[in-house]
């Protein structure tokens, strides 16, 4: 089925939905009514754009016919200008419609759970993991999103062997979903006395937060242990056993949550992380069955893939998937990720457009 056949089907379905919404008695079934209203809202943008596209095509046909029969030179020149303008508009609308037809990622509107782990490089890798955490935190602040800590394991000199946190806000996953993978840093570590440049890594995983209805989680499969949270001292150390360690027996997944002073809140956060991990496992199974989902050059899930290098001596940030290099590393580390993330999204969209008619 080509895109114009798809558009005809959408236009037909849009008409059916509108007819059903205007029929007597549909409002009495609130569940059905809400579903139809949601579908009508989603289809209306494409349907109205397609109507405009068809009108422009009709204008092109009419103008071309008039141009053939017109004998007046002045009117002929005017018709040529109108025809050119209509063809340019047709091309613009065709591109807009193709983008609108791209399949929507159902997770795009979700909050995320971010896991950052130090990789190769010892203490320097842990310091870099801390830098990445602060980078995402500052980006979240710029987007007016809320960041909540879940758990962390510090290395004692300001870095993190592992840090897990949540970011809540509108469309968080749609922006950050391309960040999963291996991030590499090249710089002179503060622990290096000889002034040599070292290469270290940290892994980032972006998990969409899963609703309870999306994951089949039996609470009887979960084992909860409580312990006393640890930290650098002062208010960071709890005086009660409020930290929670959750073990999911069927998968062996272990999650610790120690940020809240309330054991109940830590338990709730641990369950959110577990649901996200189980949801990710299900997504991976689906992706394996649908090889076409892996065509994208950008990718959104392979944690073993080296995706980006942060070179401090050259103030360079290079994303290897889209061959993009920016020479404003300080801005990037301060949370200015807009150009990077927009470029990744555009590259992913362009790749999907190539396969739209397949």
So what's the pLDDT on residue 231? 55
Distance separating alpha carbons of residues 343 and 321, to the nearest angstrom: 11
**Residue closest to 205 by CA, chosen among 347, 300, 67:** 300
DSSP character for 302? -
CB count in 10 Å sphere of residue 241: 12
Domains of the chain: residue spans and CATH: 3-101 (1.20.58), 112-350 (3.30.70.1660)
Please give the chain's pLDDT, 358 residues, in tens: 688 999 999 999 999 999 999 988 888 888 889 889 989 998 999 999 999 999 999 999 999 999 988 888 899 999 999 999 999 999 999 989 988 888 888 889 899 999 999 998 889 999 999 999 999 999 999 999 999 999 898 887 889 999 999 999 999 999 999 999 999 999 998 877 778 899 999 999 999 998 766 777 888 889 998 887 665 444 444 455 678 889 999 999 999 888 777 888 888 899 999 989 988 888 777 666 554 444 444 554 455 679 999 999 999 999 999 999 999 999 999 999 999 999 999 999 888 887 775 5
So what's the pLDDT on residue 332? 97
So what's the pLDDT on residue 70? 84
DSSP character for 197? -
**Residue closest to 342 by CA, chosen among 98, 139, 160, 55:** 139
Q: pTM for the whole thing?
A: 0.72
Helical axes 30-69 vs 73-101, angle rounded to 10° = 150
Long-range contacts of 93-97 (CB under 8 A, 24+ apart): 93/49, 93/52, 93/53, 93/56, 94/53, 96/49, 97/3, 97/7, 97/46, 97/49, 97/50, 97/53
* Residue 220 tokens, joined: 């009887």
So what's the pLDDT on residue 336? 97
Dihedral in degrees, nearest 10, Cα atoms 195, 199, 200, 204: 130
Distance separating alpha carbons of residues 217 and 273, to the nearest angstrom: 12
CB count in 10 Å sphere of residue 206: 24
Helix (H, G, I), strand (E, B) or coil at 112: strand
So what's the pLDDT on residue 77? 92
**Residue closest to 161 by CA, chosen among 118, 132, 116, 123:** 118
Burial (CB count within 10 angstroms: exposed 0-12, middle 13-18, buried 19+), residue 239: exposed
Check: CB of residue 112 under 8 Å from CB of residue 207: yes
Helix, strand, coil shares of the chain, percent, nearest 5, are 50, 20, 30
Residue 125 has φ and ψ, to the nearest 5°, of -65, -40
Q: What is the DSSP string of 61-88?
A: HHHHHHHHH---HHHHHHHHHHHHHHHH
**Residue closest to 274 by CA, chosen among 132, 164, 120:** 164
So what's the pLDDT on residue 234? 40
So what's the pLDDT on residue 304? 64
So what's the pLDDT on residue 289? 53
Between strands 253-257 and 243-248, the pairing is antiparallel
Residue written as tokens 């999204």? Answer: 345
Burial (CB count within 10 angstroms: exposed 0-12, middle 13-18, buried 19+), residue 310: buried
Check: CB of residue 133 under 8 Å from CB of residue 38: no
């Amino acid at each position: 089925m080509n895109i114009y056949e798809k558009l005809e089907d959408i236009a037909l379905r849009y008409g059916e939905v509108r007819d059903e919404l205007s029929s007597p008695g549909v409002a009495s079934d609130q569940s059905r009514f809400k579903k139809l209203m949601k579908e009508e809202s989603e289809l209306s943008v494409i349907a109205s754009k397609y109507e405009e596209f068809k009108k422009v095509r009709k204008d092109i046909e009419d103008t071309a016919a008039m141009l053939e029969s017109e004998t007046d030179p002045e009117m002929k020149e005017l018709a040529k200008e109108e025809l050119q303008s209509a063809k340019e508009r047709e091309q613009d609308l065709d591109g807009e419609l193709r983008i609108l037809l791209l399949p929507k990622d159902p997770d795009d509107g979700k909050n995320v759970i971010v896991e950052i782990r130090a990789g190769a490089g010892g203490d320097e890798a842990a310091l870099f993991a801390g830098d990445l955490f602060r980078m995402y935190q500052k980006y979240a602040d710029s987007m007016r999103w809320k960041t909540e800590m879940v758990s962390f394991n510090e290395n004692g000199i300001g870095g993190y062997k592992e840090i897990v946190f949540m970011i809540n806000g509108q469309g968080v996953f749609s922006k950050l979903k391309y960040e999963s993978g291996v991030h590499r840093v090249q710089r002179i570590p503060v622990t290096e006395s000889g002034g040599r440049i070292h290469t270290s890594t940290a892994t980032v995983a972006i998990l969409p937060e899963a609703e309870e209805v999306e994951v089949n989680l039996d609470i009887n499969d979960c084992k909860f242990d409580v312990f006393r949270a640890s930290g650098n001292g002062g208010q960071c150390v709890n005086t009660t056993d409020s930290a929670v360690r959750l073990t999911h027996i069927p998968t062996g997944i272990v999650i610790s949550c120690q940020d809240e002073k309330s054991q109940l809140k830590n338990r709730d956060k641990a369950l959110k992380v577990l649901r996200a991990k189980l949801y990710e496992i299900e997504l991976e199974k689906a992706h394996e069955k649908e090889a076409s989902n892996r065509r994208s050059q950008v990718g959104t899930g392979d944690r073993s893939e080296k995706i980006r290098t942060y070179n401090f001596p050259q103030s360079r940030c290079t994303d290897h998937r889209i061959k993009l290099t920016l020479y404003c590393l300080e801005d990037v580390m301060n949370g200015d990720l807009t150009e990077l993330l927009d470029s990744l999204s555009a590259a992913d969209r362009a790749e999907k457009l190539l396969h739209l008619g397949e």
